[in-house]
Each structure stands twice: as C-alpha cells, then as structure tokens.
C-alpha cells in the first residue's frame, strides 16, 4: 500500500513538548507525542523531564494521577518512585528499588520559555541543542504563545514551506519575492527570501529569514520590516499528525504596554498564513521525485539537508 506521505514519521530532532509555564516545579503534565504516552514533570530542583508514561511495574499511566515528590515522580498505582534518569529509586513496601525497572527518558532542554524533548528512532544522544534567542531574554519584548494547530501532515512537509518560494505568492498573497539565499551548518538551515510585503504603509521591501534547527524548530523574522522573532515549532504526535505552535517575541509599546502595531501585525499575519497552508498540507501527497521549475533548487537543497535526521532505524521502520 502506498502511503500519502512516504517518510519515516519521526525524524531525529529536538521538539517542543510544552511551555515552561505549563510545568511548574512539582507539576506533571500528561502528553502524547511520537506515537507514545508521555509525561513531562519538573522536580523541586527545577529540572524538567520528559519520560514514557507507563510504569515499569504493572503499567499504570503515571500522567493519570501520578505526582512529583522531591526530584522524583510517583506512580499512582503502588507508589513506585522514579528519578529524572528514569530509574526506579523506591518501592515503598520493599527495602530496595529495582534498578532495572525504568521509564524511557528523553533528553530534555529548556530555552525560550519552552521545553524541548529529543527524539531519536535509534535512541542516539543529541549532538546539538536548540537555539537560545536573545529576544527571549530581553525585557523589551513581550511573549505570546499561540493555541496549537493539529495538522494531518509530516514535519518535513511543513518545513519544506520555508524554501518553497512560489507558494508565498499563490497561497499567502505575498508578491514580489526575489532570490533565496541559503546557509547550511549541520542541523541548521537558514533561508533568506527577499519579498515585497503589503503593509499599512504601502509596499515595503524586506526579507523573510527562516532558521530551521532540525525538523522541529523554525526561528523566523522579517528583516527590514520591524523587530520581532517567532519560534514556529512542529512536533509529531502520530504518523501523519503534527501539532504546531507559534511563540512570538514582539516589542512592547511603552506607552500602552501593549504589543507594538508591527508586533500585532506580525502575529496576525503569521497565524493567517498557517491557516492558509493547512488545507494544502492535509490533502497533498509527498512527491519523492517532484518536477520542479527553474529556480526551485532550494527545495532540492532542503531535501538533501533533511537526510541527516533519518537514521538507519528510522529508514527501516
Ligand atoms: S503500576 Fe506503577 S507502581 Fe504499580
Ligand atoms: Fe506557507
């Protein structure tokens, strides 16, 4: 049977799983990503952890009634406790823990007010970290997290948009795009596309800069138009189901305390664009051998760059 999107479903990458604010110290969150039930919890020491939700004992879902105690998480069924490394550290009715009993633990990284988990099909350790944005540390910026979009697609298909210059005109009505400049450094792929934007002040020449970090994180800004940064994240939930979010960092209007007009426009425009992309993504197939027009070589470069995120196990799956 041929699949609509014939790609291994979960590339090796860092993926956003929660906002920092959603998981305070001592809190636990029940999640589903990568086709698995997961928990994200934060110990009293402030460290976030992302782990498989099912207890090694009799399989209770720790996300349903489990709780954090100190720097451990406790299963609701018989109160077995697990540490941040996933190891069982206590069975309350026995002298010793079972060191072999453990929860699958995902490497976790927190930055920009987001919690990221590393997924690797072959359980390889990460060799790079998500970027830390200056805007996230700057008081002059306000932060907004979008509601999630659930998209029946694949992270690679979604991020291919960044180098598909022609669609900006026909799907988003952004005209006058020029050349794309590409910079590739390991897990980072930056594309800078010059565009002419319609703004309240008329048409303005600028550039959309998109910086992909693996297949889960895209840091976007509009050069030449105004200050602000956007983290667009896409995380696989199941095969052919992705949850996408925006986190916006926009300048504060010091008089009103509200986001600047440019910031408001940016958030509106990016949210509008994604709702235009979704129906295309949800209905299209993935063409392994697309017929490309002249000037669309960036799509080929992108597809070559993504190969590094599919390890041998992912390809075999
Ligand atoms: S099932 Fe978790 S402690 Fe028994
Ligand atoms: Fe798009």
**Mean of the per-residue pLDDT values of the chain:** 94
Q: Is the CB of 78 under 6 A from ligand 1?
A: yes
The pLDDT score that the predictor gives to residue 4 is: 96
The pLDDT score that the predictor gives to residue 314 is: 54
pLDDT tens per residue, range 165-209:
889 889 998 876 777 899 999 999 999 988 877 777 788 888 889
Q: Is the CB of 65 under 6 A from ligand 1?
A: no
The share of the chain scoring above pLDDT 90, in percent, equals 85
CATH number of the domain residue 52 falls in = 2.102.10.10
157 and 248, same domain (yes or no)? yes
For residues 106 and 117, is the Cβ–Cβ distance under 8 A? yes
138 and 262, same domain (yes or no)? yes
Nearest to 45 by CA among 15, 82, 71, 67: 71
Q: What is the pTM of this model?
A: 0.95
Nearest to 185 by CA among 263, 225, 127: 127
Among 74, 94, 119, residue at a domain's last position = 119
- Overall average pLDDT of the 25-46 stretch: 98
Q: Is the CB of 177 under 6 A from ligand 1?
A: no
Q: Is the CB of 91 under 6 A from ligand 1?
A: no
| pLDDT interval class at 316 (50, 70, 90) | low
pLDDT tens per residue, range 79-134:
999 999 999 999 999 999 998 999 999 999 999 999 999 999 999 999 999 999 99
Q: Which residues surround ligand 2, an ion (CB under 5 A)?
A: 161, 277
What's the CA-to-centroid distance between 78 and ligand 1, angstroms?
5
* Residue with CA closest to ligand 1 atom 4: 78
142 and 39, same domain (yes or no)? no
What's the CA-to-centroid distance between 168 and ligand 2, angstroms?
6
| pLDDT interval class at 228 (50, 70, 90) | very high
150 and 266, same domain (yes or no)? yes
The pLDDT score that the predictor gives to residue 278 is: 98
Q: Domain span at residue 202?
A: 134-313
């Amino acid at each position: 049977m041929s699949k609509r999107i014939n790609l291994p479903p979960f590339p090796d990458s860092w993926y956003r799983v929660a906002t920092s604010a959603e998981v305070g110290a001592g809190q636990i969150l029940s999640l589903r990503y990568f086709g698995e039930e997961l928990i994200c919890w934060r110990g009293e020491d402030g460290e976030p952890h992302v782990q498989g939700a099912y207890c090694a004992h009799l399989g209770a879902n720790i996300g349903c009634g489990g709780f954090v105690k100190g720097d451990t998480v406790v299963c609701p069924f018989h109160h077995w406790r697990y540490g941040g490394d996933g190891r069982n550290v206590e069975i309350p009715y026995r002298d010793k823990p079972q060191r072999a009993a453990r929860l699958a633990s995902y490497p976790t990284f927190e930055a920009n007010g987001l919690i990221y988990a590393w997924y690797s099909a072959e359980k390889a350790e990460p060799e790079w970290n998500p970027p830390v944005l200056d805007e996230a540390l700057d008081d002059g910026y306000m932060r907004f997290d979008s509601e999630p979009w659930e998209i029946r697609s694949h992270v690679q298909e979604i991020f291919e948009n960044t180098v598909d210059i022609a669609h900006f005109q026909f799907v988003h009505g952004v005209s006058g795009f020029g050349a794309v400049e590409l910079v590739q450094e390991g897990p980072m792929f930056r594309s800078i596309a010059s565009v002419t934007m319609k703004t309240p002040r008329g048409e303005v020449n600028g550039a959309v800069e998109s910086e992909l970090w693996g297949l889960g994180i895209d840091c976007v800004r509009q050069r030449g138009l105004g200050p602000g940064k956007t983290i667009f994240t896409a995380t696989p939930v199941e095969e052919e189901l992705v949850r996408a979010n925006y986190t916006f960092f926009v300048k504060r209007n010091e008089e009103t305390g509200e986001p600047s007009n440019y910031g408001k426009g940016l958030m509106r425009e990016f949210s509008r664009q994604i709702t235009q992309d979704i129906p295309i993504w949800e209905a299209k197939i993935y063409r392994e051998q697309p017929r490309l027009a002249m000037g669309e070589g960036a799509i080929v470069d992108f597809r070559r760059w993504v190969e590094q995120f599919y390890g041998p196990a992912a390809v075999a799956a």
